[in-house]
Structures are given as structure tokens and as C-alpha cells.
């Protein structure tokens, strides 16, 4: 089965190299291609959006399943137990603060994507659906 994805826009923020953290204060503009701008109608009523990106700089040799230490002193964890960009399909999924929507531009804060990253989708963040009340995670995450 072939899967074909096409960017709806691109991230612009001046960050040139990937980094593991320090994204919380970064402001980004997501410039949509003109044909997708009508899809932004009413998005400005939300405080947060989910952004799905293609992490285009992840080299093919890192698009794999691994079992690596998450951080020094922590137990090894498989790819699917981490938020690492080292994945078979390098998709970035982030919930970010929506600052404003103007024309075909969506301004957000906290998006962990570098300048030029292709954006595949935008979705409103809906707490009743996106934040299950009884979610849990293992101690080693913190």
C-alpha cells in the first residue's frame, strides 16, 4: 500500500537546527498554501492546536525502531515509548498554544519544529477528547 502525503504549509521561526528542548518560548508562523487557507475558518476560537509535521531532516538511517536509554540513569525504552524523532515514519505531533490566525498564517508558540518543516495537518485541541481523565505514565518519564 502506498501512502502519499502532501504538505499543507511550512513552519517559519528562524530555528535552523533540531534540538531536544527549549521550545516553549519559540514563536512560529505556519504559512499554509493558499488552497488550504479556507480550512482555517473558526480555528481562532481555540486556545491550542495539534500540529502534525514531517520531520524532514531525520536521515533514513535513523528512521528505525530502537531500544535506547531515554536519558542517563533511566531504563531503556523502545521507540514507541518515547517522543523521539527517531521513528519509522518521522512524524512530529505537538499540541501548541494558538496565538492568532490571519489570512493563511497561523501563529503558534511552543512548536518543536525547525524553520522549513513541512506541516501535514492542523487540528483543534479538544480537552474532552484529547486529554483522557485517567491517563497514566511510568515513573521513569519524570
Cα 102 to Cα 90: distance, rounded to the nearest angstrom: 29
pLDDT at residue number 87: 85
The predicted pLDDT at position 126 comes to 96
In tens digits, what is the pLDDT along the chain, a chain of 142 residues?
Answer: 999 999 999 999 998 988 878 888 899 999 999 999 999 999 999 999 999 999 998 888 888 887 766 667 778 888 888 887 788 899 999 999 999 999 999 999 999 999 999 999 999 999 999 998 899 998 888 7
Domain boundaries, the chain: 9-141
pLDDT value of residue 62: 81
| CA–CA separation, 25 and 69 (whole Å) | 27
User: Residue 70 has what pLDDT?
Assistant: 62
Listed in sequence order, the residues at least 6 apart from 130 whose beta carbon sits closer than 8 Å to its beta carbon are 50, 95
Model pLDDT, residue 8: 98
Q: Are 85 and 58 in contact (CB under 8 A)?
A: yes
User: In the CATH scheme, what is the homologous superfamily, with its name and number, of domain 9-141?
Assistant: YaeB-like (2.40.30.70)
Q: 27: exposed, middle or buried (C-beta count within 10 Å: 0-12, 13-18, 19+)?
A: middle
Overall pTM surpassing 0.85 (yes/no): yes
Q: Is 78 strand, coil or helix?
A: strand
Q: Under a CB-based contact definition with an 8 Å cutoff, are residues 48 and 96 in contact?
A: yes
3-state secondary structure 10-55: EEECCCCCCCCCCCCCCEEEEEECHHHHHHHCCHHHCCEEEEEEEC
Predicted local confidence at residue 64, as pLDDT: 82
Burial class, 127, CB count within 10 angstroms (exposed 0-12 / middle 13-18 / buried 19+): exposed
Amino acid at each position: 500500500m502506498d501512502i502519499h502525503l502532501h504538505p499543507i504549509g511550512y513552519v517559519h521561526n528562524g530555528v535552523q537546527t533540531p534540538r531536544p528542548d527549549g521550545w516553549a518560548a519559540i514563536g512560529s508562523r505556519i504559512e499554509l498554501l493558499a488552497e488550504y487557507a479556507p480550512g482555517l475558518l473558526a480555528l481562532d476560537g481555540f486556545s491550542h492546536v495539534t500540529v502534525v509535521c514531517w520531520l524532514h531532516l531525520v536521515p533514513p538511517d535513523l528512521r528505525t525502531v530502537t531500544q535506547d536509554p531515554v536519558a542517563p540513569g533511566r531504563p531503556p525504552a523502545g521507540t514507541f515509548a518515547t517522543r523521539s524523532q527517531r521513528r519509522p515514519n518521522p512524524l512530529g505531533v505537538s499540541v501548541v498554544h494558538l496565538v492568532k490566525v490571519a489570512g493563511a498564517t497561523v501563529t503558534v508558540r511552543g512548536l518543536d519544529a525547525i524553520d522549513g518543516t513541512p506541516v501535514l495537518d492542523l487540528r483543534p485541541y479538544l480537552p474532552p477528547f484529547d486529554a483522557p481523565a485517567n491517563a497514566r505514565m511510568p515513573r521513569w518519564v519524570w
